[in-house]
């Protein structure tokens, strides 16, 4: 299930209205203009992950709630119901395999890294596990580099700065399990970088 811009907008509008928050109030809380928020809700404007983070923080919801299905949480998620998320200029596609129940410990997803991708070294809480399904990936943990191919796996404390690279010719698909809520962490990294650039 690919998540479209208009679907994200509809979800944000439904959550905002359910919480009784006006566009003006959301604008004041998020720092985003009323006009931009209106365009997002109507599916006219796409969101950066930084803007999505700001909206969800203003609405006091976790980011995955925006992508959640309207169905009740269940033990099994059929392939066609697994959200595929790629936000605005993000180069990576995330297929969410995790259940929707809020008490879950693990975030389980398939990351699809395009060719010529590089994620800078960054730490986060918890543990991280990966299993390479297709392609090749260079895992960097601190000063160490680990070339990985199909069938290779890794597992480490994610408090160590780490990042990923693919070659110019080939991307990679990686089954990833992390105890950190992945998209919240990813959003926070982008938000900090954005704030640093705009100072």
How does pLDDT run across 145-178, given as a tens digit for each residue? Answer: 999 999 999 999 988 999 999 999 999 999 999 8
Say if CB 100 and CB 82 are below 8 A apart.
no
Compute CA distances 110 → 129, 130, 160, 170, 199, whole Å. 11, 9, 21, 17, 34
Residue 58, domain CATH:
1.10.260.40
* Share of residues in the chain with pLDDT > 70 (%): 76
- The pLDDT assigned to 70 comes to 41
What mean pLDDT comes out for the span 103-107? 76
Regarding whether 109 and 157 lie in a shared domain, the answer is yes
Segments forming the whole domain that contains residue 85? 81-197
Regarding whether 63 and 114 lie in a shared domain, the answer is no
- Residue 103 resides in a domain: yes
In total, how many domains does the chain have? 2
Regarding whether 193 and 131 lie in a shared domain, the answer is yes
Q: 20-71: per-residue pLDDT in tens?
A: 999 999 999 988 999 999 998 988 887 776 788 789 889 988 776 777 644 4
Regarding whether 87 and 42 lie in a shared domain, the answer is no
Regarding whether 85 and 62 lie in a shared domain, the answer is no
State if pTM tops 0.75. Answer: no
């Amino acid at each position: 299930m690919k998540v479209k811009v208009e679907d994200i907008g509809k979800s944000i509008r439904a959550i905002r209205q359910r919480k009784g928050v006006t566009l003006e109030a959301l604008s004041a809380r998020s720092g985003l203009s009323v006009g931009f928020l209106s365009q997002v809700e109507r599916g006219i404007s796409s969101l950066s992950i930084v803007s999505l983070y700001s909206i969800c923080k203003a609405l006091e919801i976790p980011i995955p709630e925006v992508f959640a299905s309207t169905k009740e949480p269940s033990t099994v998620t059929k392939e066609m119901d697994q959200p595929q998320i790629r936000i605005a200029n993000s180069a990576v596609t995330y297929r969410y395999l995790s259940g929707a129940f809020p008490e879950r410990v693990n975030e389980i997803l398939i990351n699809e890294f395009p060719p010529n991708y590089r994620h800078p070294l960054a730490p986060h809480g918890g543990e991280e596990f990966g299993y390479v399904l297709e392609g090749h990936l260079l895992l960097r943990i601190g000063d160490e580099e680990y070339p990985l191919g199909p069938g290779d796996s890794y597992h480490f404390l994610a408090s160590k700065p780490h990042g990923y690279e693919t070659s110019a010719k080939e991307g990679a698909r990686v089954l990833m399990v992390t105890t950190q809520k992945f998209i919240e962490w990813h959003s926070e990294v982008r938000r900090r970088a954005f704030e640093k650039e705009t100072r």
